Amino acid sequence: MRFAVRIFGVVAVFAAAAGLWLFAGLKGPLPLVRDGGTYWLAVTPTSPLLTHAMRVALASNAAPTPGRLDWQAVDGGFEVADLPVLMNGEVVEHLLLARIDPARFRFVAHNAASGQRDLDHWLAKTGAALVVNGSFFSRRGEPATPFLSGGAPLGPQTYDARAGAFVASAASAAVHDLAATDWRIAFQGATDAMVSYPLLLSHGVSRVANPTRWLATRSFVGQDAAGRIIVGTTTDAFFSLTRLAGFLRDAPLGLTIALNLDGGPVACQGVALNGFARKSYGRSEARVEGDDVQLLMSLPYKPAQMPVVLAAVRRTS
């Protein structure tokens, strides 16, 4: 009798595990949790563990279309907007935008290699009108690309940069195409700057060389024909870099150049100005190769740390 009960228990466990695999759309064994509670989990392209936006992105290669764009003035030289992203008439994603006049706002690059700094901490620490995640960083939280913060050089000083850089001085800010310009030359006279990749757009043409289906929450910094800086962050993980470049090319933003920033859970944006407040925290990401999908999971969930950020601060004179 005791043996029969034991067999029944084993069968029940296996049945429950099989049910979980079918319900959650898992593929392969469960991975070990690592890297501070994050791990990659193999799932099917239709797994309910993926967000609806991610499942839509994986189900179709069609180009998304922009919805209605309405800019809202928050202050002189500072506007915000929420641009819907549509697939077959359905809103599947939102692009949170800020359009900033660099003559009225200065841009500052910050790095906190040690200590805990999430979006809320950076907004409180800097008192900035806008904070967005910056370029890529190492496991130690140091910039992984050439970087200037308050005139101090950080990150690698020997680096082959072919994509782009965001460069700010006391009087200006701009996104630079580094295809034919050395990053050291682009940094000359700057107080704050960061190299990042890939360059999404240059002169209205996509610069994403290698097609990819890797999905993630995305942030970018760009510039329009009037010289205004446009910062954008998605609210979900719908976009691959290839799709994002095409969407920004077709969107009514007037972008002449756009540079990708780091993506995934670190892709966060906050705005706090004249009573207007907005916070968007990065969500997951998925590595996609054909039908093989690996979803980045976190246990437990908490807002991502942001060792590298870009902030916009109101000029005082």
pLDDT digits (tens, 9 = 90+) for 254-279: 999 999 999 999 999 999 999 999 99
Can you tell me the mean pLDDT for 8-35? Answer: 45
Q: Token pair of 185, please?
A: 């030359």
The mean per-residue pLDDT over the stretch 127-137 comes to 98
Alpha helices in 168-207 (DSSP H): 183-187
Cβ neighbours of residue 115 under 8 Å, at least 6 residues apart? none
pLDDT the model gives residue 302: 80
Model pLDDT, residue 113: 86
Tokens describing residue 303:
């807002």
Whether the predicted pLDDT of 9 surpasses 50: no
Contact by Cβ (8 Å): 163, 259 = yes
Q: Does residue 298 carry a pLDDT above 70? A: yes
With contact defined as beta carbons under 8 Å apart, do 108 and 192 qualify? yes
Phi, psi of 55 (to 5 degrees): -65, -40
What is each CA distance from 116 to 74, 106, 267, in whole angstroms? 30, 25, 16
* pLDDT band of 116, cuts 50, 70, 90: confident
pLDDT of residue 186: 97
Q: Which residue has the tokens 């706090």?
A: 272
186-221 pLDDT, tens digit per residue, is: 999 999 999 999 999 999 899 998 888 999 999 999
pLDDT of residue 26: 64
DSSP string across 175-234: EEE-SSS-HHHHHTT-SEEEEES-EEEETTEE---S----EE--EEEEEETT--EEEEEE
| pLDDT for residue 28 | 55
Confirm if 273 and 59 have CB atoms less than 8 A apart.
no
More confident residue, 5 or 84: 84
Residue 184 region, left (φ>0) first, then alpha (ψ -120 to 50), else beta?
Answer: alpha
Comparison of pLDDT for 83 and 35, the residue scoring more: 83
Query: Each residue of 180-189: pLDDT tens digit?
Result: 999 999 999 9
Q: Whole-model pTM?
A: 0.89
Q: Does an H or E element contain 312, and which? A: strand 308-314
Give 38's pLDDT tier (boundaries 50, 70, 90). confident
pLDDT of the residue at 283: 83
Chain length of the chain: 317
DSSP 198: -
At 284, phi and psi to the nearest 5?
-75, -175
At 219-246, the pLDDT tens digits run 999 999 999 999 999 999 999 999 999 9
In the 8-state DSSP scheme, what is residue 30?
Answer: P
pLDDT, position 3: 41
Q: CA 300, CA 51: separation in Å to the nearest integer?
A: 18
Report percent pLDDT > 70 for the chain: 87
- Which residues lie across from 39 on neighbouring strands? 297
Q: How much is the mean pLDDT over the chain? A: 90
CA 249 – CA 201 distance, rounded (Å): 7
End-to-end Cα distance, the chain: 86
